[in-house]
Amino acid sequence: MNKGKIFKLAKGFRGRAKNCIRIARERVEKALQYSYRDRRTKKRDMRSLWIQRINAGTRIHGVNYGNFMHGLMKENIQLNRKVLSELSMHEPHSFKSLVDISRSAFPGNKNVVPAPQKKGLQILV
């Protein structure tokens, strides 16, 4: 019956939500809504985790994530973030060589021309 299915989905819920049909039905509906939503957010969360791991991995070598990815894009290296994060964890030497490639392609923006300073009251002097 429907109740049987609901209770099957309500396994592990807290308190009466696993035992009593009125409460379990509500909680199961909510759980299914969350799982629908989270199948979509899981993709975002995973990518965010990869980016955090890559960031940590590149900062060990003195480069931050933004500059690293910019350098890779310039060299047309199309490795995706999932693979890059796994490389940073499991293949540190290969990852270091990638960081070096990126650094040579884009050494950072320390040499950028500074924005023109406002003159202010200095003009009057």
Partner 1 sequence: MSVLSLAASSSSSFMLSSSATCSSSPKPPFSSSSKHPIKTPFVGFSVAPPQKLWIPSTTDLSFNNGGSPRRSFEVFSSKTKDFVRVPLDQRWMFEDYEVDGPDIWNNTWYPKAADHVNTDKPWFIVDATDKILGRMASTIAIYIRGKNLATYTPSVDMGAFVIVVNAEKVAVSGKKRNQKLYRRHSGRPGGMTVETFDQLQQRIPERIIEHAVRGMLPKGRLGRALFNHLKVYKGPDHPHEAQMPVELPIKDKRIQKQK
* Interaction site with partner 1 (CB under 8 A): 46, 49-50, 52-54, 56-57, 59-60, 82-83, 85-86, 88-93
CB of 85 to partner 1, least distance (A): 7
Give the pair of three-digit tokens for residue 73. Answer: 């894009």
- What amino acid is encoded at 115 in this protein? A
CB of 52 to partner 1, least distance (A): 6
Whose Cβ is closer to partner 1: residue 18's or residue 96's?
96
Residue 44 φ/ψ region, left for φ over 0, alpha for ψ in the -120 to 50 degree band, beta for the rest: alpha
Whose Cβ is closer to partner 1: residue 24's or residue 58's?
58
CA 38 – CA 32 distance, rounded (Å) = 10
